[in-house]
Amino acid sequence: MTTTATPAVADAAVPVGSPFTGTAALVRLALRRDRIVLPLWAVVIGLLPTVYGKAIMGLYTTQSQLDAFAASTATLKSEIALVGPIFGSSVGALTTWRAGYLFTFLAVAVILTVVRHTRTEEETGRTELLDSTAVGRYAGLTAALLVAGSGAVVSAVVAAVGLAAIGLGGTGAVAFGAAVLGVGTVFAGVAAVAAQVSTSARLARGISFGVLAVAFLLRAVGDAGSGTLSWLSPIGWSQQVRPYADERWWVLLLPGVTAVVLAAVAYRTLARRDLGAGLIAERPGPATSPPSLSGPVGLAWHTQRGPLVAWTVGLAMFALVIGGAAHGVSDQLGSSETVLQALARLGGTQAIEDSFIALGFTIFGLVAGAYSVSATLQLHDEEETGRAESVLAAAISRVRWATSHVVFALAGPAVALTVAGLAAGLAYGASIGDVGGQVPRILAAALVQLPGVWVLTGITVAMFGLVPRFAPAAWGVFAAMMTLYVFGMVADLPQPLLDLVPFLHLPRLPGGEFQAAPILWLLGAAVALLAVGLAALRRRDLR
């Protein structure tokens, strides 16, 4: 007699008492995974107001200078669109105005954090594994929101305490900290909803950054105009709190209510969908692939083209603003000799407008470096998700596969900076009536940043080849360079520290003296790092 055994249900989930069961454990796990990146971005972002406050105190020593600066800046529509409106001429009001960039930086950080711990976990199968244990349905989303929220809280507290430490305490510091937290919670909610309605981490990030871009544009257009559109933007809400300028505490209700509503929508959507599903699916491809997808370069282009277009358009928009604002920067800065020296030290020559443009393109170079890191780390994503194994199963070498992505990490920034250089050159040239003369000068200022960008590319490739597990730490390298650059503008940092930033070795164009030696050294370093990374990739095991 044959006995048939009834197989056990292998995927039966362990019963849990609450949909939030296991949240604390997942929070600890997420904090352990982000133990370097999370404190880094939270503290660095929070310190920006302190840096700007110290700079303004050193640059403008009398109230009349502050009044003149505020009055001249308020007339520059391009500057107001880029940073935000000025509500007062005190040191505190001007500090929090100049630190308005913080809101965008924080939004980017919390978006990446929430998506990383929600949709990315689901996409890689880790959520399914955790769901087979005593983990509630809402635990993962709650943990992601708590971790991102904790980062926003740290940024808010550091910002408020830092302002108080330099003598800008009181209600203004508290109001600014609350405004920072408001932006963080809103965009954590945006990312949470995007993670639930999309079917991939890539789409979730795209939706979230799209919302951020719309919020920034609404704020920019509104501030440059009547101000009405600014009230449709979470960034505009935080600025309307008006720290150090007769604070408007009631405005904080807007981000608070919005964050709660977004979180409720995210939980509701999570409860109604299946694991791995979403309301918005990525557009399905054709039944048969075109010939362009038959090789690794075509596949890489299919993956890289969207981000490349987005980064290029974003840089071009900011370049138009920089180019348009450069002609009025002389009046804005007034007679502060300290300002001129600071710009000359890290941004170019003694010519104010050239220094302003050179400073802007050094920042654009760092932004292009961020794109390069992101494009290179696509290799890490391909390996983690198993797609690399499928490609390498064909007659394609590892180096050829990796190079197909690296070429976009190298060429993409060149395209983006070229477009930005042309945009800024046209805007600046049109403002002074010399388009033909200014476009080549500013285009050179853009392209001279490429060796610094390519060094970042080389570092990322080397980390991917040598220590693939820690390849995402390339973002830490980028953050360190950005931090040294920002603090170097206003603090007397030791020169050996500043020498670690490749962009600070490059010629300060336009207006500065062109020197080929640092360019050649940086190009050599980039080539060496690329060679080391690709050679290591050939010899190591795939993960």
Q: Side chain identity at 323, as an amino acid letter? A: G
pTM for this prediction: 0.76
Counting the structural domains of the chain, the total is: 2
β-sheet bridge partners, residue 299: none
Identify whether 101 is part of a domain. yes
The residue from 241, 275, 309 where one domain ends is 275
Q: What is the pLDDT of residue 459?
A: 94
The residue from 219, 247, 275 where one domain ends is 275
Mean pLDDT of 122-148: 78
For the stretch 393-407, pLDDT in tens is 677 788 888 888 899
For the stretch 272-316, pLDDT in tens is 876 655 666 556 656 555 655 556 777 778 778 888 888 888 888
HSE, CB side, 13 Å, CA atoms: give it for residue 55: 23
Query: Positive or negative CA dihedral for 427, 428, 433, 438?
Result: negative
pLDDT surpassing 90 at residue 522: yes
pLDDT surpassing 50 at residue 2: no
Q: What is the pLDDT of residue 14?
A: 42
In this structure, the answer to whether residues 382 and 490 fall within a common structural domain is: yes
Identify whether 286 is part of a domain. no
Identify whether 11 is part of a domain. no
Identify whether 10 is part of a domain. no
Identify whether 448 is part of a domain. yes
**530 and 465 in contact (C-beta within 8 Å)?**
no
pLDDT surpassing 50 at residue 3: no
For the stretch 156-174, pLDDT in tens is 999 999 999 988 878 999 9
In this structure, the answer to whether residues 332 and 183 fall within a common structural domain is: no
Domain extent, residue 230, equals: 20-275
d(C-alpha 76, C-alpha 58), whole Å: 23
Q: Collapsing DSSP states into helix, strand and coil, what is residue 49?
A: helix
Kindly report the three-state secondary structure assignment for every residue of 250-293.
Answer: HHHHHHHHHHHHHHHHHHHHHHHCCCCCCCECCCCCCCCCCHHH
Identify whether 109 is part of a domain. yes
Identify whether 281 is part of a domain. no
pLDDT surpassing 60 at residue 8: no
Q: What is the pLDDT of residue 76?
A: 72
In this structure, the answer to whether residues 227 and 370 fall within a common structural domain is: no
Q: Which of the four pLDDT bands, split at 50, 70 and 90, describes residue 329?
A: low
Identify whether 174 is part of a domain. yes
Q: What is the pLDDT of residue 332?
A: 58
In this structure, the answer to whether residues 478 and 337 fall within a common structural domain is: yes
The helix (H) or strand (E) run that includes residue 152 is helix 139-165
Q: Among the listed ranges 24-28, 94-98, 121-125, 246-250, which one has the minimum average pLDDT value?
A: 121-125
In this structure, the answer to whether residues 66 and 189 fall within a common structural domain is: yes
Tokens at 344, concatenated: 């000359």
**Quick one: 395 exposed, middle or buried, by C-beta within 10 A (0-12, 13-18, 19+)?**
exposed
